[in-house]
Amino acid sequence: MQLKQTPLIGLSIGVVLVALLPVLSMGQRTRRPAPARPARVAIDYSRFSHATAKHQAACSTCHKIPTSNWQKVSAFPDITDFPAHSACVSCHRSQFFKGVRPVICSVCHSRTSPRDDDRLDFRRPAVLLQFTIEFPHDKHQDVIAFNRSRSVVAFSHAARNVMDQGYYNCVLCHSERTSLPAAPAKGWTDGFVPAAATFKASPVNHSSCFNCHWKEQQPVAQNCNGCHKLAKPYSNVEAPARISMKFIHDGGGEKKNHVAECTTCHINITKAASLRGLKPDVPITACTECHNKDGLRLDVSKELMAIDKDRSFTCTYCHTSDVGKLDPPASHYLIAERPPLKRKDVK
- Closer CB to other proteins, residue 61 or residue 257? 257
Show the 3-state SS of 31-71: HCCCCCCCCCCCCCCCCCCCCCHHHCCCHHHCCCCCCCCHH
278-305 burial, b at 16+ Cβ within 10 Å, e below that, comes to eeeebebeebbeebbeeeeebbbbebbe
Answer yes or no whether residue 6 interacts with other proteins by CB under 8 A. no
In angstroms, give the least distance from the CB of 115 to other proteins: 33
Please, which of residues 174-203 interact with other proteins by CB under 8 A?
none
Q: Build a one-symbol-per-residue string for 118-147: x at contacts with other proteins by CB under 8 A, - elsewhere.
A: --------------------x--xxxxxxx
Which residue in the set 210, 304, 307, 318 belongs to the binding site for other proteins (CB under 8 A)? 210
Please, which of residues 30-89 interact with other proteins by CB under 8 A?
30-31, 71, 75-77
Phi, psi values for residue 298, rounded to 5°:
-135, 55
Evaluate the CA torsion angle 279, 239, 213, 145 in order and state its sign: negative
* Candidates 25-33, 50-58, 177-185, 313-321; binding stretch for other proteins (CB under 8 A): 25-33
Please, which of residues 327-346 interact with other proteins by CB under 8 A?
334-335
Please, which of residues 269-328 interact with other proteins by CB under 8 A?
270-271, 281, 283, 285
Which residue in the set 106, 263, 274, 321 belongs to the binding site for other proteins (CB under 8 A)? 263
Give Cα 227 to chain centroid, integer Å: 12
Answer yes or no whether residue 214 interacts with other proteins by CB under 8 A. yes
Q: Widest CA span of the chain, in angstroms?
A: 114
Give Cα 97 to chain centroid, integer Å: 38
Answer yes or no whether residue 3 interacts with other proteins by CB under 8 A. no
Which residue in the set 45, 96, 131, 167 belongs to the binding site for other proteins (CB under 8 A)? 167
Cα 271 from Cα 254, distance rounded (Å): 32
Q: Which residues fall within 8 angstroms of residue 108, CB to CB, at 6 or more apart? A: 82, 119, 120
Residues that contact other proteins, how many (by CB under 8 A): 51
In angstroms, give the least distance from the CB of 339 to other proteins: 14
Cα 137 from Cα 140, distance rounded (Å): 5
- Closer CB to other proteins, residue 180 or residue 220? 220
State whether residue 17 is helix, strand or coil.
helix
Instruction: Catalog residues that contact other proteins under the rule CB under 8 A.
Output: 20, 23-24, 26-27, 30-31, 71, 75-77, 138, 141-154, 163, 165-168, 210-212, 214-217, 260-261, 263-264, 267-268, 270-271, 281, 283, 285, 334-335
